[in-house]
């Protein structure tokens, strides 16, 4: 049984609750344990994953959160840099599923977050589990 850490950027609570429900369900259906760590925003997710990985307590990570385009360039910075940070950690060998939604509006986020619709939280957990299996196959 693997231990999975879900790191959530808790900015839009109602949307995050949906992402978390999907991620938790996918992990539990696969027979694994999970824990959730909350950080303020998407920019903090990669750093939190890197710190948690140093503990050696987790086999994989799921990043969830929502970034909605606003009126400023901040959307691009947060979207790009959180994705870059997660990708750097993945290329360094961590098993991570990226479920940070980057959307134009709340309606798009709702469709993607809802486990009864696109279930991106569950999809990110599934990706983390696949990456964990690949890591076990090629690194162990």
Active site residues: 74
105 labelled binding-site residue: no
112 labelled binding-site residue: yes
| Burial tier of 64 (Cβ tally within 10 Å: 0-12, 13-18, 19+) | buried
Residue 89's CB: how many other CB atoms inside 10 A? 21
11 labelled binding-site residue: yes
What is the rounded distance in angstroms from the CA atom of residue 21 to the CA atom of residue 125? 11
36 labelled binding-site residue: no
E strand residue ranges, 21-135: 33-39, 60-68, 96-103
98 labelled binding-site residue: yes
35 labelled binding-site residue: no
Q: Binding site: which residues?
A: 11, 42-44, 66-68, 71-72, 98, 112
Binding residues for 5-amino-6-(D-ribitylamino)uracil: 11, 42-44, 66-68, 98
């Amino acid at each position: 049984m693997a231990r999975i850490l879900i790191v959530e950027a808790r900015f839009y609570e109602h949307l995050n609750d949906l992402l978390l429900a999907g991620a938790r369900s996918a992990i539990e259906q696969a027979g694994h344990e999970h824990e959730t760590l909350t950080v303020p925003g998407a920019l903090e997710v990669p750093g939190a994953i890197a710190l948690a990985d140093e503990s050696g307590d987790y086999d994989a990570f799921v990043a969830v959160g929502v970034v909605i385009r606003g009126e400023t360039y901040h959307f691009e910075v947060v979207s790009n840099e959180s994705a870059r940070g997660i990708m750097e950690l993945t290329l360094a060998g961590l098993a991570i599923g990226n479920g940070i939604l980057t959307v134009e509006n709340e309606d798009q986020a709702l469709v993607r977050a809802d486990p009864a619709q696109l279930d991106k939280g569950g999809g990110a957990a599934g990706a983390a589990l696949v990456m964990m299996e690949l890591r076990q196959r090629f690194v162990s």
